[in-house]
Amino acid sequence: MGKRYAMVIDLRKCVGCHACTVACKSENNVPLGVNRSWVEELETGKFPNVSRHRLPRLCNHCENPSCLNVCPVKATYQLEDGTVLVDYDRCIGCGYCIAACPYDARFINPERNTAEKCTYCHERVEAGLQPACVNTCVAGARIFGDKNDPTSEVFKLLTTQSVAVSKPETNNRPQTYYIGADEKSLRPNLLKIVGGEK
Amino acid sequence: MPTVHFFDTPHEIYWGLLIALYFYYTGMSAGSFILTSLGTVFGIEKYKKVSKVGVLMAIVLLAFAPLHLLFDLAQPGRFYNLFLHVNLTSAMSWGVYLLILYPVDLVIYAWYLFRQDFVQGLNKGGFKAGLYSFLLFGKKDMSPAALANDKKKAKFFGTLGVPLALLVHGYTGFILGNVQGRAIWHTPLMPIIFIMSAMVSGTGLFIIVMMLVEKFKFGRIGEDIRSLIADIANLMKWFIVVDGALMIIYFIVLWYSSETGYAAGYFLLHQEGWSFLGLENGLGMLVPFLILLSKKARQSLPLVTLASVLTIIGVLAMRINLVIGGQKLPLTGSKIVEYSVSGRDLSIGLGIGILALVVLTWLYSVLPMNRPGVQEKESIPVSKGVAQ
């Protein structure tokens, strides 16, 4: 099997410092108001029975990416290692990929005027480095690597731990695997948001 | 269990008013064309009277519709990439070709409908004769064989236009329907709902346009057109019945589909209630349906006009509720994504609308709108239609 990059995020280690969000912005010159990676944080329960959960989000570099399927000009493409990228010179900025991504991973870069998202810091990975968010994580909660390589940390975690992905039902087959994710953080509680749940 | 979200990352709605208007325009183009093709294509004699009015309306609406898309692009100068690169899995990519084939077919169809009148109008002199002479491209043959050929070709291109019209609007249904991530869009009914609501709004707008053309081209709405309007109003009633049934089926299945589907249904009934229940389905479908139930009302021009205006408003609300409402439901985080139309989008939408109206009015005023048995009255200055 060829190389297939994936990310495992061990939420038992995540402290919610948002250093990944900041490192990503800094590494990729992401303008204010938009994010390639961010951390959702929520608190459940009532004192004294409470818990706090975090969910770092980024592009899932899916096996079957909705964004790639809907792009009318094939500006979004996928490398053999699974990385999903956008050709900024070809993108017409129609916004279809943004509407189709189930993970809110994409946005229009207000300076470049094209669709944009996490690239797994492709230029760093090419140079043998880790993505900026992985590199900066104080707790080592983000683990990046080749999930087909039996010696990789990602492979070991995926085979020995129970993991969850966000919204598997959409058939995107996302490649960000969470360890210890709270079910409430993996998808929005829509019924509550629309006022249907007290 | 109480859950509190911190650090909600804001997300934006990128498909706003312009996209909803694009769906609206292509819909009315397809709807009005299919309705008026009943004469030429399906041989229903009385509809032949209005084929020309309908095809011009369909062409102009379709010519202006893609402008909304162009102005919505973040990189409008790169629109040509749509022609250079094809992605067969993208419904938007299918649309690029349909948006060319359909209007080209309609223009050829219209040319065969108008050719005879162009030749007859050559002796009028002035600008119109010059225009007709140009538009004829030298094909002035009025022999019975040539006239028969006109009829044959019009039928061919008109017939081709019907599936193209269904596709050009059906594909927009796929644009939304193919998105798995949004339960409110992800239904196989979407293309059919789009086509049926297009029949409703296309018929509604066509009735109004036809009455205006009659009034300003011929001075009065003739008896034959009055009885035709009653027939079309009856058809519109049935279009509303089918469209309404589809909406009910859509909603029931949405309600029982999934957690997100149920929430989407709840959202349509509550937060979007005034627009979904009130505007779209109440004022836009139920009221016109009730009006058109009565045979007397169908024969009354003011009541048919009222019903038509209501359907046009209702279908616009439907496009907005689906396109924008669908994106208000968040995919991550814990808040409804807010949308407010920007001044830029609103001005572009209004600008395109006014421009389309001006071009359509101009076409109706310079082209020969004669129909079987009725000739244009030369004494009536047609340009009045614009001012009033």
Indicate if the pLDDT at residue B388 is higher than 60: no
Residue A80 C-alpha, separation from nearest chain B C-alpha, in angstroms: 19
Q: What is the reported pTM?
A: 0.93
Is residue A36 within 8 Å of residue A118, measured between CB atoms? yes
Which residue of A lies nearest to B326 if distances are taken between CA atoms? Answer: A99
Beta-carbon count within 10 A of A40 CB: 21
* Interacting residues of B131 by C-beta distance below 8 A, sequence separation 6+: B366
Q: What is the pLDDT of residue B379?
A: 46
How large a percentage of chain B has pLDDT more than 90?
Answer: 78
Contact B331 A35 (CB under 8 A): no
Contact A104 B330 (CB under 8 A): yes
Contact B1 A38 (CB under 8 A): no
Closest CA to B270 of B349, B336, B350: B336
Chain A and chain B share a number of CB contacts under 8 A equal to 182
Q: Is CATH 3.30.70.20 the right assignment for the domain spanning A5-193? A: yes
All residues of chain A having their beta carbon less than 8 Å from the beta carbon of residue B332 are 40, 57, 103-104, 187-188
Residue B99 C-alpha, separation from nearest chain A C-alpha, in angstroms: 14
Instruction: Please tell me which of the candidates A72, A103, A114 has its beta carbon nearest to residue B331.
Output: A103
Is B335 or B123 the better-scoring residue by pLDDT?
Answer: B335
Is residue B82 within 8 Å of residue B93, measured between CB atoms? yes
Which residue of A lies nearest to B79 if distances are taken between CA atoms? Answer: A92
Show me where the domains of chain B are located. Answer: 17-387
Indicate if the pLDDT at residue B371 is higher than 80: no
Indicate if the pLDDT at residue B381 is higher than 90: no
Amino acid of residue B93: S
Contact B14 A99 (CB under 8 A): yes
The CATH homologous superfamily for domain B17-387 is Formate dehydrogenase/DMSO reductase domain (1.20.1630.10)
Structure tokens that stand for B357 in this block:
């109206």
Average pLDDT over residues B211-222: 88
Structure tokens that stand for A189 in this block:
């509680």
Residue B257 and residue B273: Cα distance in Å, rounded? 20
Substitution target in B23, B73, B75 with the highest count of A β-carbons within 10 Å is B75
Across B7-163, the runs of DSSP E, i.e. the strands, are: none
Of A17-21, B140-144, B162-166, B252-256, the one with minimum mean pLDDT is B140-144
Task: Tell me the pLDDT tens digit for each residue of A101-124.
Answer: 999 999 999 999 999 999 999 999
All residues of chain B having their beta carbon less than 8 Å from the beta carbon of residue A115 are 74
Contact A66 B331 (CB under 8 A): no
Task: Tell me the pLDDT tens digit for each residue of B32-81.
Answer: 999 988 888 888 888 888 899 999 999 999 999 999 999 999 999 999 99
Beta-carbon count within 10 A of B70 CB: 15
Beta-carbon count within 10 A of A121 CB: 23
Which residue of A lies nearest to B96 if distances are taken between CA atoms? Answer: A72
Contact A33 B87 (CB under 8 A): no
Bridge partners of A107?
A116
pLDDT band for position B386 (cuts 50, 70, 90): very low
Contact A170 B180 (CB under 8 A): yes
Task: Give me chain B's average pLDDT, please.
Answer: 92
Residue A191 and residue A164: Cα distance in Å, rounded? 22
Indicate if the pLDDT at residue B380 is higher than 50: no
Structure tokens that stand for A163 in this block:
């993991």
Residue B320 and residue B274: Cα distance in Å, rounded? 13
Bridge partners of A23?
none
Is residue B345 within 8 Å of residue B70, measured between CB atoms? no
Contact B2 A46 (CB under 8 A): yes
All residues of chain A having their beta carbon less than 8 Å from the beta carbon of residue B324 are none
pLDDT band for position B378 (cuts 50, 70, 90): low
Q: What is the pLDDT of residue B126?
A: 84
pLDDT band for position B376 (cuts 50, 70, 90): low
pLDDT band for position B4 (cuts 50, 70, 90): confident
Contact A41 B6 (CB under 8 A): yes
Contact A99 B271 (CB under 8 A): no
Which residue of A lies nearest to B323 if distances are taken between CA atoms? Answer: A99
pLDDT band for position B326 (cuts 50, 70, 90): very high
Q: What is the pLDDT of residue B387?
A: 41
All residues of chain A having their beta carbon less than 8 Å from the beta carbon of residue B171 are none
Residue A56 C-alpha, separation from nearest chain B C-alpha, in angstroms: 11
Instruction: Please tell me which of the candidates A92, A101, A188 has its beta carbon nearest to residue B79.
Output: A92
Contact B90 A96 (CB under 8 A): yes
All residues of chain B having their beta carbon less than 8 Å from the beta carbon of residue A196 are 262-263, 266, 270
All residues of chain A having their beta carbon less than 8 Å from the beta carbon of residue B2 are 44-46
Indicate if the pLDDT at residue A41 is higher than 50: yes
Task: Tell me the pLDDT tens digit for each residue of A58-70.
Answer: 999 999 999 999 9
pLDDT band for position B123 (cuts 50, 70, 90): confident
Show me where the domains of chain A are located. Answer: 5-193
Residue A175 C-alpha, separation from nearest chain B C-alpha, in angstroms: 16
Contact A171 B180 (CB under 8 A): yes
Indicate if the pLDDT at residue B318 is higher than 60: yes
Contact A90 B85 (CB under 8 A): yes
Contact A96 B335 (CB under 8 A): no
Q: What is the pLDDT of residue B222?
A: 85
Residue B197 and residue B210: Cα distance in Å, rounded? 20
Closest CA to A179 of A40, A22, A56, A62: A56
Residue B185 and residue B302: Cα distance in Å, rounded? 36
Instruction: Please tell me which of the candidates A90, A104, A191 has its beta carbon nearest to residue B263.
Output: A191
Contact A43 B6 (CB under 8 A): yes
* Interacting residues of B302 by C-beta distance below 8 A, sequence separation 6+: none
Q: What is the pLDDT of residue B385?
A: 43
pLDDT band for position B168 (cuts 50, 70, 90): very high
Beta-carbon count within 10 A of B275 CB: 18
